[in-house]
Structure 1
Amino acid sequence: MNTKRWIAVIAAVVLLGVSIVINSAFAIFQSGFGTGLDEWVAPTEGELAETVIEPGDMNKRIAVLNVEGAIQDTGEAASFFGTTGYNHDLFMEQLEKIKEDDTVKAVMLKVNSPGGGVVESAEIYDKITEIQAETQKPFYVSMGATAASGGYYISAPAEKIYVNEETTTGSIGVIMQLMNYDGLAEKYGVDFVTIKSGPYKDIGSPTRDMTEEEQKILQDMLNQSYESFVDVIEEGRGMTEAEVKAVADGRIMNGRQAVEANLADDFGFEEDVLAALRADFDLGDAEAFEYGASEGLGSLFSMKVKSMFKPDLESEMIAKLLTDYSAPRMMYLYGEN
């Protein structure tokens, strides 16, 4: 490895460490910073911050939830090489709060996501259906530019789904991508020694080719998750298995095609969806709010560092490997990880 690569690796490791420390510190104070403080409601201990979008009756309110980015519980602090993105623990906390808060009468779920983990998507779906069953609170979905795969999975149980004509949605299916750098290692004279307790202990290893039996094992797993996805759409959209599978081959579609396929109900932007919720459930004078404060100093500092360093492509690839690597797993995901 040449000097330039060593410098890139060391810089990435140092920035990752500093990022974790700084973001952890800012997490404590973040709720006190940002714009719109006049509309921000300071939380007491154990409560979420709230920002009023449209003032109204505080005894009957509409909660607006945001799913932005890949639905993935990384368990890692945000790095200076990227923004904070989707926070799974925080989103699940918001859903639990909605379930417990009797003043919340309806929910608008804004989805702009290519999907994500099978487990995380299922966890969100289960929580939404639990809220619907136990509290009768309706969910309307407002799809943004992209609401595909896992983004559609979590939208399926909603009473109504609204799209833009150019929304990218669909991509119904499961994917698992594995890396194989055996050829590259052989080229550079790298040898891997694996000691394992059983024949399948290193299934999916990037150091060798996969056997047909191993492929079958993984394919069976994916098929089961796929059937679960189909079941979710059948129940949520009132479609037959045949109707769902006719479009559940991984294809993406725009909003117009989604409405034609009964995967969405109507066209509309966020304001249209909010207005529809008010009209359909007698919530004309209800307050509309969302959880969370504006971006804190941690995010602003992260953006500043990014603009200062402007790493080259090689450095970015090394940083991504250091900060984003995770073992291969099944995903309800459209596009790249």
Structure 2
Amino acid sequence: MKARRWIALGIGAFVLIFSFITTISFALQTYTQGTALSGGEQTVVREGNTSGQIALLEISGPIINSGEEGFFASGGYNHQSFLNGLNAVMTDRQVEGIIISVDSPGGGVLESAEIHRLVEEAQSVHEKPVFVSMGGMAASGGYYIAAPAERIFAHPQTLTGSIGVIMSSINVSELLENIGVEENVYKSGPYKDILSPTREPLEEEDEIIQAIVDEYYQEFVDIIADGRGMDEDRVRELGDGRIYTGRQALEEGLIDDLGSIDDVIDEMQAHLGANYQVVTSQVNQGFGGLFGMTVDRLFGDTELKMDFNQPRPLYMYNYE
């Protein structure tokens, strides 16, 4: 009897503690998303003239909207938080310029387009220069979001480029046949199960998917042609999917200069004509960033893995 009582008390205590932490997590996340970039706590990266600021934002990892929020967020790249942060700094009167540090193999077509749109808006509507500092990798979607920036910097060892679109699926029909598994599909139209992994694609389906890839690729080409002032044929010549080092990208006109993040800050201050202080303006991820690693180990990062396994168009290098 005593053992049951202690077990019940233990379960009750666990539920109470879990509920308390979850509530605090959601509350903190809501607060930080609403205030951290517009008057909330900021970290000064470089001291300087406090009459203005240079906002430093960071994109690290695949540019994928995993939908992770709150307590179970893994603490990695959070797409909505980044969009909130970029929106906040470009409308903040204290911010004079924006630097985006990119270390990413790329990501989703939609996500890349959303960031690209805001980078353009920051410069054309709010008249705030945007510089991009490339880290170890800024490929495919990582380059897509950099293309409209006023200036792009990379390390000599940066891997960039990978201009193009990829969309794939796995065909396991022979494997299923060998082990005696058959799928029954009931669909409302002939292409409702397009890219199904359990059958060979139809010729018409190949044409449908290729048309989608071609459309997104044309958009990518237009983005670079417009952002870099290049001829479309030249962009297509460079945009065959290959990657470039920072030095090669400079020679081909895909970036403007070589340098570290400190060099980029120096260039931004010189461009603005003032030694403005530099502050990080990334949204705080709340408790999720602290506990996400443990949660992933316990339950597995299933949501992101499932997202990658869905057939979808990607501006991505080494997407597997």
Task: Measure how far apart 1:43 and its partner are.
Answer: 3.9
* 1:48-97 CA-partner distances (Å, limit 9, x unpaired): 642221233333110001011111112134898x9421111111111111
Residue of 172, 177, 196 corresponding to 2:168 = 177
Q: 1:88 matched to which residue of 2?
A: 79
Residue of 268, 279, 282 corresponding to 1:289 = 279
The separation in 2 between residues aligned to 1:250 and 1:21, in whole angstroms, is 49
**Does 2:184 align with 1:193?**
yes
Percentage of pairs with the same residue: 41
Q: 2:4 matched to which residue of 1?
A: none
CA-based RMSD:
2.9
The separation in 2 between residues aligned to 1:126 and 1:79, in whole angstroms, is 30
* Higher mean C-alpha deviation, range 270-279 or range 69-78: 69-78
Contact 1:117 1:330 in 2 (8 A): yes
* 1:195-223 CA-partner distances (Å, limit 9, x unpaired): 11111111111111111110111001100
Task: Measure how far apart 1:24 and its partner are.
Answer: 7.3
**Does 2:91 align with 1:100?**
yes
Q: 2:25 matched to which residue of 1?
A: 26
What TM-score does the superposition give when structure 2 sets the normalisation length? 0.84
* 1:96-125 CA-partner distances (Å, limit 9, x unpaired): 112211111111110000000001101111
Q: 2:306 matched to which residue of 1?
A: 325
Could you say if the C-alpha distance between residues 303 and 139 of structure 1 is closer, same or farther in structure 2, counting changes exceeding 3 Å?
same
Could you say if the C-alpha distance between residues 335 and 139 of structure 1 is closer, same or farther in structure 2, counting changes exceeding 3 Å?
same
Q: 1:335 matched to which residue of 2?
A: 318
Q: 2:50 matched to which residue of 1?
A: 58
The separation in 1 between residues aligned to 2:78 and 2:228, in whole angstroms, is 27
Opposite residue 196 of structure 1, the aligned amino acid is K
Contact 1:139 1:158 in 2 (8 A): yes
| Structure 2: unaligned runs, 5 residues or longer | 1-17
The separation in 2 between residues aligned to 1:32 and 1:218, in whole angstroms, is 42
Contact 2:194 2:201 in 1 (8 A): yes
Question: The residue matched to 1:72 in structure 2 has which SS?
Answer: coil
Structure 1 segments (4+ residues) deviating >2 Å: 19-33, 42-50, 55-59, 76-80, 292-307, 319-324
Residue of 51, 56, 63 corresponding to 1:71 = 63
